[in-house]
Amino acid sequence: MLVQDFNNLTITRETKGKLPSLPFLDMKNSILGKSYDLSVVFVSKKRAIELHQEWKSKNDPVNILSFPLSKNEGEILISLDKAKTECKNFGQTFENYIGFLFIHGCVHLKGFSHGNKMEAVEKKFRKEFKIIS
């Protein structure tokens, strides 16, 4: 298990594989603010399946889940295995797709639900960080 600790951002890798070299801290600060405490966990395929069963009653691995813990604290769980599969379906690189998912999770933590407003906010941050959709 690899843990990287930044100012108000903790990244944990519970699975094999290299993490993309994305500006996670800058992205988090831009979307959620510098005082927001965020934990990001890159989970194994097995754990992603367990989480999807627990939270969505589905039997395949979840790509991302976001959990607000308080007004200024949250957690994002991302499956690297699922992202590797899905990025090809969307014609994206693995690194870009992880950035896409991370922004999506942060915008959820900001309080947005799926819809046009959320998409507009995500688009703004994808443009800022050069993440294609």
The helix/strand/coil state of 3 is: strand
Provide mean pLDDT across the span 47-60. 84
Structure-block tokens of residue 111: 């309080």
Mean pLDDT lowest among 21-30, 46-55, 67-76, 109-118: 46-55
Mean pLDDT, the chain, rounded, equals 91
Predicted model pTM: 0.92
**So what CATH class is 2-128?**
alpha beta
Q: In degrees rounded to 5, what are phi and psi of residue 118?
A: -65, -45
Does the structure show a pLDDT above 90 at 28?
A: yes
Predicted pLDDT of residue 2: 61
Provide mean pLDDT across the span 55-65. 84
pLDDT tier for residue 122 given thresholds of 50, 70 and 90: very high
Does the structure show a pLDDT above 70 at 95?
A: yes
